[in-house]
Structure 1
Amino acid sequence: MDAKKISILLKRDEGTKLDFKLKIDILLESGKKELAKDVCAIANSRGGRGYIVIGVEDKTKRVVGINVDEFMEEQFQQIISSRCEPPIPISLDFVIYKSKRLAIITIYDGGQKPYQLRENGAFYIRRGSTTDTMRKDELISCLQENLSLNIETMPLINSDINSLDLNIVNKYFLNKGILINDDNRLGFMDNAGITFVERDYNKRVVTLGGLLVFSQINSIYIPHNMIKIVNKVNNKIEEVIIVQGSLLDMLDRVEELFKGIFPINYPIVAVHEAVKNAILYRDYTMFYKEIEIAINYNSVSVISPGNLLFSTKINAHNYSKRNMWIYDKLIALDDKKRFVKSGKGFAFISKAFIKYGKVIFVDTKEDNSFKVIFPGIKNFI
């Protein structure tokens, strides 16, 4: 974004894809709600990418400017990712125009419509320069256009396709029986949802799922893809260990770390299963939480962001599973076949500890998390 682009925007009237704001205070709850609502409405409206220009009076278009210290992109990203479902791809830029500094939020067409607010479940749209709730026919139209919606195919606008590990990409297509080469690889990655072409500028970026499964350096763009191990039982190993990378690599590394942390007779295979399920089914739209494994003498907990979907009680047959796009990729890539073995899940985890104590499953709606709490290691040393 540059001064020339701002000049063009200022010549336009507010509409479905353009909103001028004198200021917005994201430190206040009212400001956060307004931002999420307006971004959601612009994203749901037809016409490609949209813009919110902050520092301009909406009626007169008088350029007032902003205090840049009040704007941090991470804060804006967190507000949108935590309040909009699915998260809407945005970017924040600053431009000096007529000696005044302006903030511009760019709202991209990520192919994930319709977007709604988590707080009240409402779907918003722009009618001219006004934000309104979507009508039934508008909502149906959006849903029909995106029947194959997968959260994992949400584009990460600032990502670079060079962050992908082509060895993993090639292995996936080979295991699927698809022969790829340098000439057709990009097309197949687009079709598979690994990459996404941002149509306004024909820019190819990586999707959320593409980064999770096929990149070893995805923490650059999605730092929440992390497993934090808090080790309170083995002083020969670090107390806090951070594991990042592709999903399968993370799972492999955690399994190896467990061998060094736990006593040899502890049923770590059950804890492996809980970690595997966390990696596979966690809510990756929660950009502000990571998987945590807390290992203490009295208990061992695996805490996953995102509670069970549509559950009334915890059992293996009473909830919907997230991330089926990821599941398809991991089945094809995992040489150890951990994602296709039968007999796993809640029953397997509980059975592994039947001689040692009770495993507790906690589905927390308020905290939006799922926890598996195992007996501690005090009886194994």
Structure 2
Amino acid sequence: MFESESHWVDRVFDILYFANAKLRMPSLPLTGTSTLLSKLTEAIRTDLGEEFEIVQFDGRMITEKNQTEYVQDAVTRAETLVDTQGSCIMLLDHYSHAMKRSRAPRMQTQLFNLLINSHTSAKVGCLISHRTTQLSNLNLQASSFLSRFRYQPAPLVNELDSFDNGHRGQVQLASERVGRVPLFVRASSPDGTFDAQAWDYFWQDASREIARDLPEDAIKFILNPESENLERTPILNQFTALGSEHPNQLLLDRLRVHLLGALGAWPTAMDQSASRFGRMLDSQGPSYWYDTYIYSPDIRDRVVEFLRELRKWTDVDLRIMGANLRDWSTEVTAETLKCFGSIPNVEARIVPWRESSTLHDRHLVAVGSTEGYNIPEIRDVAVVKRRGSATESKFWRSPVDYSSLWRGAAAAYS
């Protein structure tokens, strides 16, 4: 454990044992909460001896079949321990899982009666670990149960932390890249020095799970960090470096990618379509946009309207590529490219037929990178039709070398 984690364990142990406090710790997936509670359990047993029993409650173990019995057993055991050893500590992990069950209200009532509304409550210390979104799902303000629990943040690495090799500077270096979650720092530096490959492998999966569980205020900040009326949610402190107040943009960019991919069907309003496309473009920088039919004469005015709307959201360079199909007039296509090229920071080129005939997908790929998106066809993006079922998806390695394709494409309007 890092020094910051050890200090957290000691402090929480004191609060639970001596003050019989009721604490709640919201957490994000894959941030090491269960491991932290295991360390807390070890500390309690080391200080109080193996004979001091703890009630451990794991929401993942609760099923539809055993839900009533599981919670009742935990409550009964806690009441018995108060009688036999004078006090009791309860550690409730994965509480959110338990609250997904059909009898969750009854379970919460049982726990409320034990921990808040009984003669034994003053002798029971309790820490509940739950997902951040559980706050809104349970309506914390209206919940007479969780609203009685004091907020206890998870530990974050600090200036005193060091790896086993004793180098504090390596923790600082890792935190600049991965934030201040202890598990992130360890995952990024398995040998005590930062390993970019190890971190990227971990963060690809972790970021996807985290994005699914972010609270609404964090999502709003990540998707629109320049909004004047948004205050950054405390959960994003996990993504700051030591000594910094601002979240690491590279970490937020990856979360933004997953959030955009989870927004459902593509919008059927022009401004919303441009906003969504603009966020993708902003997240990866200058990009190639390929769509075989983007120069279709019958939708030219609509695409121009979309590009102008897009410029209200972002000025990131956009390099458009499409085909000049055989039944289209070359002169008409040239005029279309001139219209597109008149939009600030937009360049348009024609891909030779021999190459475009083998390209069947629509992609938005970052210049100088293999990362990008599968995106809806141009008639959806420019809101020519309103099917409402199209969406985008992220990929990490493009199946097409768009840099070479761009170099071989013709800038017909120049």
Shorter chain as denominator, the TM-score bin is: under 0.3
Larger proportion of strand: 1
Question: Normalised by the size of structure 1, how large is the TM-score?
Answer: 0.27
Question: Normalised by the size of structure 2, how large is the TM-score?
Answer: 0.26
Larger proportion of helix: 2
